[in-house]
Structure 1
């Protein structure tokens, strides 16, 4: 009997692995190259050098009163949309929907959805059984601080470009007013002339990961990153970014959606986060089928923070009780798991008041990152994501058993 059981599990493992490879092959049909000319990087290096030589310290000054009005409006709008993960996620989608050449806005929208799902996991079915309230609060603060600081930095960049498009005149020289890194100015100026979406997206990935590195990863949240609970994420494979794919011809909610994506092993490592972001971008925009499915999902399914947004057949945003005990609702694979919306899980948090110092001090340090993103061969995350959730379930149940008298 034991041998038969082992053979069955082995066969299931082989079947799942083969299915993942097959689905990944289907997803990767007709790939699209995300490239730019090699000499561009050297031109940027020269532009950074020239920019540094003519830099003058002092307060930012406007040339025209109209510029001040535009910048103050963008600053206020950034504060409004930076209220919480749900509003930020919607703001990114609004930008991409109007200006689809801004690839980073769609990538940020989908990654921000994942950030919200991770936030609500902390108050969902499994993690409250594994982590105490104080530790869950610290994990939430890590996610929220990264989320908010990236938005505070990136959204004004996107809006200045949007305003430039509407007026037909570049306003990108106003980026320093928002304390945007000197790294980004030559890249935005080049994008205004040449619309090289892949180059700008990679640059934004590099920039935003550096923006959070000093103040959050190495600063206020470094103790969380050193905690056993955070370091156990690779073991449980819960540090996943997934892109739900909704075929344009299908209505949401009919069947569990397939997922594309990746797992990051060392979130605290800057180099790994940049490489991970480039892989995600290559997955999303390198394959038309994945892009089409992700755009369809983003446009038709509102972000609430609950994992029921993409798998309502497996997650429930409601904590339903009857007579004081949970009422079990089931799907074809078992009981529905509680995944609350963000508004039921966490209150809004204070926003960062000031921007961190400019991280960009050595142009040579960023040149190795400015190469073309290449996608991994394995794209499908459907089985892996479900397996990660079930490992969390096993860990939670084991924790309950150890606490029982």
Structure 2
């Protein structure tokens, strides 16, 4: 075990030193004991069991957090994964079925699902290694490389084992997951051509895909908005802001957690705003579409907006094995672990309401244009 001699040094300095040392050392194959081999297989099987779809992943994150509240990312990941599910079902909901073709929506879903799947199959084995380390009362993070987990996270987990710095671990996981996705999804030519270039305007300026929402009591929402999805730097900074919104306000954290426990994730936006959304389509085919929203309320006698549950929107997808390779190249990423003590307000309800209204108007305009054509 490392980190033991210089415990008086600041955690980030120790992390940086260890990463510099590791970057100069070749990664050699490990000789595993029989028990370690069995453990790794158990971790792979359990991860696969929970990695069926967005709902099973999201549930697994929350269950782990309730058992290990010191692992803050598990709850942050749960809430962000809920948003991923809402984005997926939007593709079969009221507005996007009018704005995008069937092929476009299927391509967009494949993009969202691949990212959601990849993150889970990377981070959940880390959680299970931590759980087993606690059970055995010794760190087992030397096994990270056997699970294709970055040397960056192996270093962070060993530091966490000694220092229990929840903030450092949470932000390190933000860095890790976003860096892990960068080449596999964001820079993947398939998604660059089929999703990011094609839907850039829709993603950034029109839809609610760039809003991350944390619902809590009395239909309130907190969260943040991402304006440059293709920037790894911006996605990491967003993760840091989301962490602040969720964990720096203890009362709000309590309220968001209570909401999450009381509202199992289905993928439908009805989960948080049943006064506006319904997982049953109340529409009548052939009737002219009229505006129904005003200031986040339905107009009198207006029917609710259709937002299906995930199980009714998309079938489970069998994914190809994750691409191998460690994203970690140099220790500059440690700078992201420096804590910013600025408090984030997180107010997003008004912005989200305006987005919904723009989305509705865009759907009406697209329908009008198609009729004229």
Q: TM-score by structure 2 length?
A: 0.90
Matched, 1:313 2:281: no
Residue pair 1:266, 1:272 contacting (<8 A) in 2 also: yes
Where 1:162 maps in the other structure, the secondary structure is: helix
Task: State the partner residue of 1:349.
Answer: 317
Residue pair 1:321, 1:327 contacting (<8 A) in 2 also: no
Residue pair 2:283, 2:303 contacting (<8 A) in 1 also: no
Alignment of structure 1 residues 54-203 onto 2, 5 Å:
54-58=25-29, 60-62=30-32, 64-203=33-172
Task: Give the Cα–Cα distance (whole angstroms) in 2 for the partners of residues 386 and 175 of structure 1.
Answer: 43
- How far apart are residue 230 of structure 1 and its match? 3.1
1:332-365 deviation digits (Å, cap 9, x = unpaired): 544310000111111111123134311111223x
Farther-moved stretch of structure 1 (212-221 vs 99-108)? 212-221
Task: Give the Cα–Cα distance (whole angstroms) in 2 for the partners of residues 133 and 171 of structure 1.
Answer: 46
Aligned residues: 357
Task: State the partner residue of 1:387.
Answer: 354
Computed over aligned residues only, the root mean square deviation of the Cα atoms, in angstroms, reads 2.3
Q: TM-score by structure 1 length?
A: 0.83
Compared CA separation, residues 302 and 117, structure 1 to 2 (3 A): same
Matched, 1:236 2:236: no
- How far apart are residue 87 of structure 1 and its match? 0.4
- How far apart are residue 325 of structure 1 and its match? 6.8
Where 2:243 maps in the other structure, the secondary structure is: helix
Residue pair 1:90, 1:109 contacting (<8 A) in 2 also: yes
1:92-141 deviation digits (Å, cap 9, x = unpaired): 00110100000000000000000000000011000111111111111111
List alignment gaps of at least 5 residues for structure 1.
1-36, 247-254
Alignment of structure 1 residues 182-331 onto 2, 5 Å:
182-219=151-188, 220-236=190-206, 238=208, 239-246=210-217, 257-320=219-282
- How far apart are residue 56 of structure 1 and its match? 3.7
Task: Give the Cα–Cα distance (whole angstroms) in 1 for the partners of residues 360 and 265 of structure 2.
Answer: 24
Matched, 1:358 2:326: yes
List alignment gaps of at least 5 residues for structure 2.
1-7
Task: Give the Cα–Cα distance (whole angstroms) in 2 for the partners of residues 79 and 130 of structure 1.
Answer: 34
